[in-house]
């Protein structure tokens, strides 16, 4: 595995790989790699001959009161995990390489980024979209794999690629869960052991929603309110939102139409950590 830090060098390598007709897959991360990221690498590997993993803690997607400075950065461990997972190139630029002093141009997302995570984290998705566009231009992949855990981010990236005619296929990868159902995340290390075991309530909430829908209930907002109450019943767990949404637009859905798919999304504050989870349901 080669470690590249200079955007120009990465671009030159990718250009050469493309000329040699290699299929490039990219997995973008902020490091602190875990089983979720490794599953993205495996999925990229299924299609692509060359896998590039980007590792960059993007300052522009953190709000002023967020955890940029305490975000975990176990670089040596990340190198070992990426290598063991079969990554070909690890692109780990400096912040000054991505945002030199001359940097001025940023992307502004539309209404898709105003709701849910976007409403609670001002400017977050503009920061994500800008860095994702830059990393696509630097790594020049044929496919880019993103986790479904960050479902709104994935929808925004699909929109970005379509709106800006970027020639890449975006692949969504299923959520990887711990044994108790907690979706794996780099921030889970901040949970106390009590919070970690109580965090199974999110997954139980999604299961409850699945049972309701299987029983042909159509009242999505009532089901979401039940799941919200389930989560709230755990001491110290405060939902920021629990809602069914349209998969593409992230417009909230109150009642189900037959034959349509909806995603239940939730964000929950558990002590000092925000947990995200979601699942897709087909209403028969
Ligand atoms: O999902 C993440 O880890 C980040 O938002 C991403 C896509 C790597 C952009 O910084």
Q: Whose CA is nearest to atom 9 of ligand 1?
A: 128
| Strand segments (E) across the chain | 2-4, 24-29, 50-55, 89-91, 143-147, 169-173, 237-245, 261-270, 273-282
Question: Which of 95, 132, 136 maximizes ligand 1 atoms within 8 Å of its Cβ, making it the mutation to test the pocket?
Answer: 132
Domains observed in the chain? 2-173 (3.40.50.620), 186-279 (3.30.1300.10)
Contact (Cβ atoms closer than 8 angstroms) between residue 40 and residue 147 = yes
Residues taking part in catalysis: 37
Q: Is 30 in the pocket of ligand 1 (CB under 6 A)?
A: yes
Q: Whose CA is nearest to atom 8 of ligand 1?
A: 29
Closest by CA to 46, choosing from 169, 133, 128, is 169
Q: Is 130 in the pocket of ligand 1 (CB under 6 A)?
A: no
Question: Which of 54, 61, 128 maximizes ligand 1 atoms within 8 Å of its Cβ, making it the mutation to test the pocket?
Answer: 128
User: What span, in angstroms and rounded, lies between the C-alpha atoms of 257 and 218?
Assistant: 7
Q: Is 28 in the pocket of ligand 1 (CB under 6 A)?
A: yes
User: What span, in angstroms and rounded, lies between the C-alpha atoms of 50 and 223?
Assistant: 44
pLDDT in tens, the chain (284 residues): 999 999 999 999 999 999 999 999 999 999 999 999 999 999 999 999 999 999 999 999 999 888 899 899 999 999 999 999 999 999 999 999 999 999 999 999 999 999 999 999 999 999 999 999 999 999 999 999 999 999 999 999 999 999 999 999 999 999 999 999 999 999 999 999 999 999 999 999 999 999 999 999 999 999 999 999 999 999 999 999 999 999 999 999 999 999 999 999 999 999 999 999 999 999 99
Contacts of 154 (CB under 8 A, 6+ apart): 146, 147, 148, 170, 172
Q: Whose CA is nearest to atom 2 of ligand 1?
A: 29
Span from the CA of 219 to the centroid of ligand 1 (angstroms): 34
Contacts of 224 (CB under 8 A, 6+ apart): 209, 242, 243, 244, 264
Q: What is the number of the ligand 1 atom nearest to the C-alpha of 54? A: 8
Q: Whose CA is nearest to atom 5 of ligand 1?
A: 128
User: What span, in angstroms and rounded, lies between the C-alpha atoms of 66 and 130?
Assistant: 19
- Chain centroid to CA 13: how far? 26
């Amino acid at each position: 595995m080669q470690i590249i830090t200079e955007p120009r060098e990465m671009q030159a390598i990718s250009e050469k790989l493309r000329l040699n007709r290699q299929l490039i897959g990219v997995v973008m991360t902020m490091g602190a790699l875990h089983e979720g990221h490794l599953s993205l690498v495996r999925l990229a590997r299924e299609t692509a001959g060359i896998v590039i993993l980007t590792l960059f803690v993007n300052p522009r997607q953190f709000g002023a009161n967020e955890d940029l400075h305490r975000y975990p950065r176990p670089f040596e461990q990340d190198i070992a995990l990426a290598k063991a997972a079969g990554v070909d190139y690890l692109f780990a630029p400096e912040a000054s390489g991505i945002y030199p002093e001359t940097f001025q141009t940023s992307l502004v997302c539309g209404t898709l980024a105003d709701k849910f995570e976007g409403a609670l984290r001002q400017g977050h998705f503009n920061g994500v979209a800008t860095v994702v566009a830059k990393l696509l231009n630097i790594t020049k992949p044929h496919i880019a794999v993103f986790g479904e855990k960050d479902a709104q981010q994935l929808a925004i990236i699909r929109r970005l690629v379509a709106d800006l005619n970027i020639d890449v296929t975006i692949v969504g990868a299923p959520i990887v869960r711990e044994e108790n159902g907690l979706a794996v995340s780099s921030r889970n290390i901040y949970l106390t052991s009590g919070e970690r075991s109580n965090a199974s309530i999110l997954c139980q909430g999604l299961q409850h929603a699945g049972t309701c829908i299987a029983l042909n209930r159509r009242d999505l907002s009532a089901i979401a309110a039940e799941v919200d109450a389930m989560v709230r019943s755990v001491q110290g767990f405060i939902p920021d939102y629990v809602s069914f949404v349209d998969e593409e637009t992230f417009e909230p859905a109150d009642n189900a139409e037959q034959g349509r798919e909806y995603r239940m999304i939730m964000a929950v504050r558990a002590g000092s950590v925000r947990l995200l989870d979601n699942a897709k349901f087909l209403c028969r």
